[in-house]
Amino acid sequence: MKITGVTISTMAVPNGPPVNTYYAANTYIVTRIETDAGIEGLGYTMLVGGMGASAVRAYLEDSILPLVIGADPLQIGAIWQAMYENDRGLRKKGIPVYAMSAIDIGLWDILGKAVDRPVWHLLGAHNERVPVYGSGGFLSYTIDEIVAEAEAFRAQGCRHYKFKLGLPNVAENIDRVRHVREALGNDMEILVDANQRWDVATNIRVGRMLEEFGLYWYEEPVLADNVQQCADVAAAIAIPVATGENEYTRYGFRDLIDARAAQYLNPDIHRCGGFSEMMKISHLAAAYDVKIAPHLVPELSIHVLAAIPNAALVEVLAGSPDDLWEHPPTIADGHMAPPDRPGHGMTFSADAVKRYTLD
């Protein structure tokens, strides 16, 4: 089989309320990979808030497509490595890996369609379903909005909910957690996310004050570039630390594991290198009994979670648009099941393509 062309487009997908008080829209760089067998693979990479999207598209067009056109799409490992090694002047963090991920995702879609199997079967089927955690609770929300959002997830059977920390006044954050715990009771797990807002000392202070609330995890305490500082926080607080949404490739995750920076890793399939690399990261983590709970993109991450022994949770963001997909992922009894359609099984709805495509 040969790749005969790749069509790239940009979609700006608005978020619903109240997420849109934080990020008005996310930008998708979409790669449609055409083959001489008549199979088309859909790849895409999502830039939260649209930051960096035009750079990812330019990198794809200038540096990636010349490598991919004419290659055999079933040689996924070889194409991944060619994309990785092609460029020695940009480290594979950030923009280049977003671009590589879009191609890798489209290639697995082609392979699945070629053999008429869903991607999770090809990766090594393991779990029929994975527990969902509801995610949201941005700093712009009131406590009542946070509780209402958590209750909406609970109504779908979810037993895990995450909201944000990072208000400048430390005491206000503790109050937020106390109120949410009181409102939800003890049968719902609470996860918190500091989004890199604090230094080590502040995180340790906050983390220790929060220990009495029995939190499930404490996410991204410090700037993601400073792995040792994350490890310092993890060693000092009794709440398990989660991190990794801003990490790239097996090398980045190796550093997190080596430093004992987290007990939960949050690879983002659009940032870490696609299905191929997320599997490698997951297996590396399994050897250390570190669990995987991917960042966003549940409709693709679910294939990896369904194929690994160390799957923890799949993240579903409140306010995600419900008209984006032909077959949206469904939550039943607080769990998500991977689709049985061939490939990754996701297709943008015709309406969404018409409404959200910029060019």
Give 109 or 193: the residue with its C-beta nearer to Mg ion: 193
Q: How many residues bind Mg ion (CB under 5 A)?
A: 1
**Catalytic one among 270, 295, 303, 335?**
295
User: How is residue 260 written in tokens?
Assistant: 């004992």
| 247 part of the interface to Mg ion, by CB under 5 A | no
Is 164 annotated as catalytic?
A: yes
Alpha helices in 116-226 (DSSP H): 119-124, 143-155, 170-184, 200-210
Collapsed DSSP state (helix, strand, coil) of residue 181: helix
By beta-carbon proximity to Mg ion, the closer residue of 109 and 247 is 247
CB of 220 to Mg ion, least distance (A): 5
Residues in Cβ contact with 159 at an 8 Å cutoff, skipping those fewer than 6 apart: 131, 187, 188, 189, 334
Task: Return the number of the residue (64 or 158) whose C-beta is nearest Mg ion.
Answer: 158
Q: How far is the CB of 243 from Mg ion (least distance, A)?
A: 8
Structure tokens at 122: 């090809």
Is 315 a binding residue for Mg ion by CB under 5 A? The answer is: no
Are the C-beta atoms of residues 311 and 93 closer than 8 Å to each other?
no
* Dihedral, CA of residue 193, residue 196, residue 198 and residue 201, to nearest 10: 90
To the nearest whole angstrom, how small is the minimum distance from the Cβ of residue 190 to Mg ion? Answer: 14
Please give the C-alpha separations between residue 122 and each of 104, 115, 261, 271, 287, in angstroms, as whole numbers: 14, 9, 31, 22, 21
> Is position 145 an interface residue for Mg ion (rule: CB under 5 A)?
no
Nearer to Mg ion, 139 or 337 (CB): 139
Q: Which residue, 30 or 165, has its beta carbon nearer to Mg ion?
A: 165
Q: How many CA atoms lie within 13 A of 284 on its CB side?
A: 18
Cα–Cα distance measured from residue 344 to residue 162, given in angstroms and rounded to the nearest whole number: 26
Name the minimum Å distance from CB 193 to Mg ion: 4
Spot the catalytic one: 164, 270, 303, 335. 164
The residue from 34, 145, 149, 193 that contacts Mg ion (CB under 5 A) is 193
In the stretch 149-188, what mask flags binding to Mg ion with x, by CB under 5 A? ----------------------------------------
Active site residues: 164, 295
Residues near Mg ion (CB under 5 A) are 193
